[in-house]
Amino acid sequence: MYIKRYTIAALIFIILAGWYVYAFITQDSMSLDFFGIPLPSLSIALWVVLPMILLYLASVFHMAFYSMLGSFKLRKYEKDYEKLIDAIIEAYLGKENRNHVFKTPRYKLLGELVDNTVLFPSQTLSADTANEKINNVIKLINNIKSGEVVELKKYSLPADNALVIQNERNRYKKGDISAEDILSHANKYDRNLCVEAYTDYVKTAPLYAIEKYKEFLTKEALFIILQRVNASENALEVSNDALLALFEELDLDKNDYIKISTVLAGGMLPEQRIKLFETLSEEKDEAMDAYLYTLFDLEMLAPADEILENSQPNEYLNFKSYRALKECNKHFNINLFI
């Protein structure tokens, strides 16, 4: 019951009751003792009305008290609802270590589930929900996914957050930041983005810059660098020592070394190429196949024969087969044997 309506109804009832007693029952007055204390003489109609007024005041206080308790409880639900919205938003944004404190049991259960669940809005979810904060986040995520650059500072997301990485990648693709900007401030960016920028950077960068940021070297970037050795465009002049230092940054296997030799065949001088793989074969067993490939590719048969003669019977069978065919005047491409 609303207190205002109750008050109007109670006043009407009290006035009617007092009027009825005064008009139709008695107009006399009387005095009462209250715990031995004589009270003033009042009309009997007023004595009838007075307890009704006290009852009204008590009931109003009772209703106001429990209404206030209800308001506090409702306020808790409203606050928990806002916290749940924030929890959903943080889940959509991919935040880690989410821990919201809820005051009400039902929202506490929902909050714990959301805080410990990976959530991401599907493509079918439009930015037209009943909550503006969620709508803004959905729009932001959709914009990032579509390649746009958005402002993420107010969300305080770490550099390794997927949305931050994609947003920075969008900035990079749009030319707002360069590969060198990313590499020179690598601590501000995710490593995957730095690696991607480095792979693009080595396509035209000078050798000293390639070596400066070689911590982001990958096999893909390495082969881009090798293709530039003495090339007609964006050519690089690289010493064997510089190449060996780059190779040390990666975990290369036998096939990688062979591929390196095939790539260098297009631009590196034969003498330098042979020396490079001779040095590698002395330091790493995995590079011996690449050295043999290089020797046969450059028709350096004598040193290749020497290596094969000193090898174990079950070693380098592919190159031994190639040599045997060659001795029988059967000419095949060495690439068929690697």
Residues 273 and 262: beta-carbon distance below 8 Å: no
Residues 42 and 29: beta-carbon distance below 8 Å: yes
- Amino acid at position 151, single letter: E
Q: Give pLDDT tens digits for 262-283.
A: 999 988 999 999 999 999 999 9
Task: Name the E strands within 114-209.
Answer: none
Residues 261 and 293: beta-carbon distance below 8 Å: yes
Q: Give pLDDT tens digits for 83-133.
A: 999 999 999 998 888 888 888 888 889 888 888 888 888 877 777 788 889
Which of the pair, 196 or 47, is modelled with greater confidence?
Answer: 196
Q: Give pLDDT tens digits for 208-266.
A: 999 999 999 999 999 999 999 988 888 888 999 999 999 999 999 999 999 999 999 98
What's the DSSP call for residue 309? H
Which of the pair, 126 or 176, is modelled with greater confidence?
Answer: 176
The Cα 338–Cα 196 span in angstroms is: 30
Residues 254 and 289: beta-carbon distance below 8 Å: yes
Q: What is the DSSP string of 59-94?
A: HHHHHHHHHHHHHHHHHHHHHHHHHHHHHHHHHHTT
Residues 227 and 266: beta-carbon distance below 8 Å: yes
The pLDDT value given to residue 36: 67
Domain ranges of the chain: 3-113
The pLDDT value given to residue 22: 80
